[in-house]
């Protein structure tokens, strides 16, 4: 944390850093392997080198959209992919075989990042090799005294190799992912300032700064690193009119990067091309510098397009006029994002120290924002930047769940108060919906190859592939969460493994099986819930028989916190023109159709009452529910003969209730059957947030925190409107004795 604070100017450069934990033996071994690759020269004719070089050539040519011949053939178009046409092997003189391995990994695993560099103005090979050296130096693989050229000034960075200890702990993949992050940072710097071919050094130095900040947060694994990369604030640059200092107004060039605002005299900037990256990133010696410390706030005047930056003690650090309101808003957002990097680091460092807590009290309050002061709501508090946040504007409402007072010498004996914002679950919804949509699209395209499980129920390639797709996507974004899902890799027949891997787009069989078995991390060997607050519950293909018939099925996902569903996502590809629904506890339920009406619509159950013309929805198979009992009970709510029931497979029935197209759902399984949590949790939240009730047949709430199964006492489930709920409970009790 001190490294980030020093980079942001919050501590003296001479202040000594506390010692970091040493590298583990495994990390040291991987570091030595990487160091050996770096020192191993690229030898033309060597079998391993030629094989890897050919792989790089074919992959890069494919990204460039150019037909590839043999990499040593006279027709080889190396220059089309950013290599020296006459001597591509010279590109690896600085990075050895490590540079080639980094290229191969990036092309295989992060094609989009490579495509962006190939299509940009910088030579692809040179860019990748330079970023290899940057990462090698910052991660301790390349020692400063090894004699390599250091055009980017990496030797001056005090980044300990221990910063990368977690990334190197289990495999070398962390190093290669860091190299990809450097390539992405290079492209981001180029895009932020619209750099040209001659601006590589400036953009590479900016990428070096960004990777150093990423490492300073000591990412614990590859998913943590990827989240950090996605959260890096954008740079900003441009002219502003500055007021104050007793000199009236003056026009200056400003740059904002890694939490530091610098400004330059207009005459000095015009001595260069103001459009060049050298000016936009660092045009020379600045006329002034402002490091954005914790507590820095930004206020703006929307009417005139001006804004002010205030120091933590309330002093005005900057008052500026932008070119227009749009430019003013751009600067306010950028300044707030960069200031939040320091603010969050400072607050988290304090909050992590349990001894610093003076008092804590729960709150359930909502405040309305009166004045915009650059506050950001964090939707990913373990990421030390605000790309994942959202700005609060005047009139917005903020939910508060806790007030915590922490010891802070600068705040006096009462300490410093923090209000903990209620989590808006936006990232969980976005990630879950994207994963469910991908699983549903896969399910509609693959061949419906099936097998029979020991309980005689059918299971398909799509079941296993959908589970792997959804759980892997969730694990990448929420590595600390656990999962409960229907399938296990043990049930997957060997003959179906290749087809399942293709459907899930997972190359290695071991990775496929591991992704499927993430669904067992939320339960112990007896199926009981493990100790964890957050659990994702998944039925990858709910309604497999309907899926095999080409009728209704769904992918059903829910997130439970302390046993209570808080997020639900249902994907029903065959309902209407394909319908996807999401629900968030306390926020409502919504649906849209990507192939029809793409607008989101709020879901509401019907306002039906006993005696109205009502519609029942139930399962297709009589083996899964007692239709005679449910229809007898339902008829007691009617004045006229009932309409034929809607019969659907899967939790699509809950969506029909939430849409108001049916009024009652009744499930009465055979005696002895114990309901599974994945068959009920997603549907329960969807119906509840649409204004309905989802209970057991006796009207009791359902506990979703027991593990893979519900309480055995839940021997029936109903979903209906508030007006029909109690009459339906009474009707079920009355008709049971008659059957």
pLDDT at position 423: 58
Question: Is residue 727 within 8 Å of residue 633, measured between CB atoms?
Answer: no
Pairing relationship of beta strands 588-592 and 579-584 according to DSSP bridges: antiparallel
* Rounded distance between C-alpha atoms, residue 197 and residue 671, angstroms: 73
Question: Is residue 587 within 8 Å of residue 689, measured between CB atoms?
Answer: yes
158, exposed or middle or buried, with CB in 10 Å at 0-12, 13-18, 19+?
Answer: exposed
Tell whether 542 is in a known binding site.
yes
Question: Is residue 183 within 8 Å of residue 131, measured between CB atoms?
Answer: yes
pLDDT at position 727: 93
Mean pLDDT by runs of 10 across the 739 residues of the chain is 30 40 73 85 84 88 83 84 74 81 90 87 87 86 54 43 68 87 87 75 80 75 74 74 66 78 73 48 69 75 77 79 78 76 45 46 63 36 29 57 60 57 70 91 82 79 95 88 92 89 88 93 77 91 92 96 93 92 89 78 91 90 82 86 88 96 92 90 96 94 92 92 94 78
- What is the dihedral angle through the alpha carbons of 226, 183, 430, 174, rounded to the nearest 10 degrees? -20
Tell whether 539 is in a known binding site.
yes
| 463, 649, 663, 715: the active-site residue | 463
pLDDT at position 388: 29
User: Is residue 598 among the annotated active site residues?
Assistant: no
Token code pair at residue 686? 């969807």
Question: Is residue 165 within 8 Å of residue 26, measured between CB atoms?
Answer: no
Closest CA to 27 of 108, 127, 141: 141
Pairing relationship of beta strands 534-542 and 482-485 according to DSSP bridges: parallel
* Rounded distance between C-alpha atoms, residue 92 and residue 374, angstroms: 46
| 544, 579, 695, 721: the active-site residue | 544
Token code pair at residue 65? 């959209």
pLDDT at position 415: 58
Question: Is residue 300 within 8 Å of residue 307, measured between CB atoms?
Answer: yes
Tell whether 50 is in a known binding site.
no
Token code pair at residue 365? 């309050």
Which DSSP category does 569 fall into?
A: E
SS3 category, 670: coil
The number of C-alpha atoms within 13 Å of 169 and in the hemisphere containing its C-beta is 13
* Rounded distance between C-alpha atoms, residue 422 and residue 584, angstroms: 13
What CA–CA distances, in Å, run from 683 to 75, 184, 222, 473, 677?
Answer: 59, 40, 33, 21, 10
Token code pair at residue 468? 């792997």
Tell whether 715 is in a known binding site.
no
Q: pTM for the whole thing?
A: 0.51
Tell whether 524 is in a known binding site.
no
Where helices occur in 446-562 by DSSP H, the ranges are: 461-477, 497-504, 509-516, 544-549
Token code pair at residue 443? 């399910």
Output the DSSP codes for 9-77.
TSS-TTSPPPPPPPPPHHHHHHHHHHHHHHHSPP-TT-HHHHHHHHHHHHHHHHHHT-----TTSTT--
pLDDT at position 139: 84
User: Is residue 544 among the annotated active site residues?
Assistant: yes
Pairing relationship of beta strands 616-618 and 646-647 according to DSSP bridges: parallel
* Rounded distance between C-alpha atoms, residue 565 and residue 296, angstroms: 38
Which segments of 369-462 are extended strands (E)?
376-377, 390-391, 397-406, 416-421, 450-452, 458-460
581 has which bridge partners?
A: 570, 591
* Rounded distance between C-alpha atoms, residue 611 and residue 585, angstroms: 31
pLDDT at position 700: 94
């Amino acid at each position: 944390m001190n490294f980030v604070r020093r980079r942001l100017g919050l501590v003296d450069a001479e202040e000594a850093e506390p010692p970091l934990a040493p590298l583990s033996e495994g990390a040291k071994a991987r570091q030595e392997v990487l160091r050996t690759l770096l020192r191993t020269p690229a030898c033309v004719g060597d079998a391993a080198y030629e094989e890897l070089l050919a792989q790089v050539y074919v992959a890069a040519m494919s990204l460039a959209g150019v037909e590839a011949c043999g990499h040593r053939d006279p027709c080889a178009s190396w220059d089309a992919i950013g290599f020296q046409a006459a001597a591509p092997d010279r590109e690896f003189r600085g990075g050895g075989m490590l540079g080639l391995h980094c290229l191969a990994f990036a092309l295989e695993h992060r094609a989009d990042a490579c495509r962006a560099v190939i299509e940009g103005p910088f030579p692809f090979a040179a860019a990748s090799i330079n970023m290899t050296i940057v990462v090698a130096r910052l991660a301790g693989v390349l020692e400063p005294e090894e004699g390599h050229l250091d055009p980017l000034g990496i030797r001056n960075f005090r980044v300990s190799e221990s910063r990368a200890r977690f990334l190197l702990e289990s495999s070398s993949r962390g190093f290669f992912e860091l190299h990809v992050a450097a390539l992405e940072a290079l492209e981001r710097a180029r895009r932020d300032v619209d750099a040209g071919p001659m601006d590589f050094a400036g953009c590479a130095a900016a990428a070096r700064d960004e990777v150093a900040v990423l490492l300073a947060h000591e990412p614990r694994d590859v998913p943590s690193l990827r989240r950090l990369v996605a959260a890096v604030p954008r740079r900003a640059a441009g002219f502003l009119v500055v007021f104050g200092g007793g000199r009236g107004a003056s026009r200056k060039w400003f740059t904002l990067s890694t939490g530091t605002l610098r400004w330059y005299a207009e005459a000095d900037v015009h001595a260069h091309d103001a459009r060049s990256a050298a000016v936009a990133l660092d045009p020379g010696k600045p006329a002034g510098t402002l490091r954005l410390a914790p507590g820095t706030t930004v206020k703006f005047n929307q009417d005139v397009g001006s804004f002010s930056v205030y120091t933590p003690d309330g002093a005005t650090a900057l008052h500026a006029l932008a070119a227009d309101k749009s430019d003013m808003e751009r600067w306010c957002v950028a300044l707030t994002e960069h200031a939040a990097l320091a603010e969050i680091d400072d607050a988290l460092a304090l909050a992590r120290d349990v001894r610093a807590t003076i008092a804590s009290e729960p709150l359930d309050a909502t405040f309305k924002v009166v004045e915009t002061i650059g506050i950001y709501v964090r939707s990913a508090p373990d990421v030390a930047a605000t790309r994942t946040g959202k700005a609060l504007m005047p009139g917005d409402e903020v939910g508060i769940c806790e007030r915590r007072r922490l010891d802070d010498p600068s705040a006096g004996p009462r300490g410093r108060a923090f209000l903990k914002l209620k989590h808006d679950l936006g990232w969980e919804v976005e990630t879950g919906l994207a994963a469910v949509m991908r699983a549903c699209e896969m399910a509609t395209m693959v061949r419906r190859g099936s097998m029979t499980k020991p309980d005689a129920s059918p299971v398909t390639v799509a079941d296993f592939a959908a589970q792997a797709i959804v759980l892997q996507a969730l694990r990448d974004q929420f590595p600390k969460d656990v999962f409960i899902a229907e399938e296990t890799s043990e049930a997957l027949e060997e003959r179906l493994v290749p087809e399942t891997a293709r459907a899930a787009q997972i190359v290695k069989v071991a990775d496929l099986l591991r992704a499927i078995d993430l669904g067992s991390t939320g339960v112990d060997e007896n199926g009981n819930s493990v100790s964890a607050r957050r659990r994702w519950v998944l039925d990858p293909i709910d309604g497999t028989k309907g899926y095999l018939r080409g009728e209704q099925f769904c992918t059903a996902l829910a997130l439970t916190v302390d046993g209570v569903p808080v997020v639900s996502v249902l994907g029903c590809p065959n309902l209407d023109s394909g319908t996807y629904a999401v629900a968030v506890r306390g926020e409502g339920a919504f649906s849209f159709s990507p192939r029809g009406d793409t607008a989101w619509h709020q879901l509401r159950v019907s306002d039906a009452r006993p005696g109205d013309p009502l519609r029942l929805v139930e399962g297709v198979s009589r083996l899964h529910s007692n239709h005679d009992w449910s229809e007898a009970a339902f008829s007691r709510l009617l004045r006229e003969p009932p309409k034929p029931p809607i019969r659907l497979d899967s939790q699509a029935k809950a969506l029909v209730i939430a849409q108001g197209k049916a009024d009652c759902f009744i499930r009465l399984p055979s005696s002895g059957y114990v309901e599974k949590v994945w068959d009920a949790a997603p549907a329960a939240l969807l119906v509840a947030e649409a204004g309905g009730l989802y209970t057991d047949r006796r009207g009791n709430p359902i506990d979703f925190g027991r593990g893979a199964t519900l309480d055995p006492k839940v021997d029936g489930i109903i979903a209906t409107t508030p007006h029909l709920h109690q009459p339906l409970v009474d009707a079920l009790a009355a008709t049971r004795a008659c059957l």
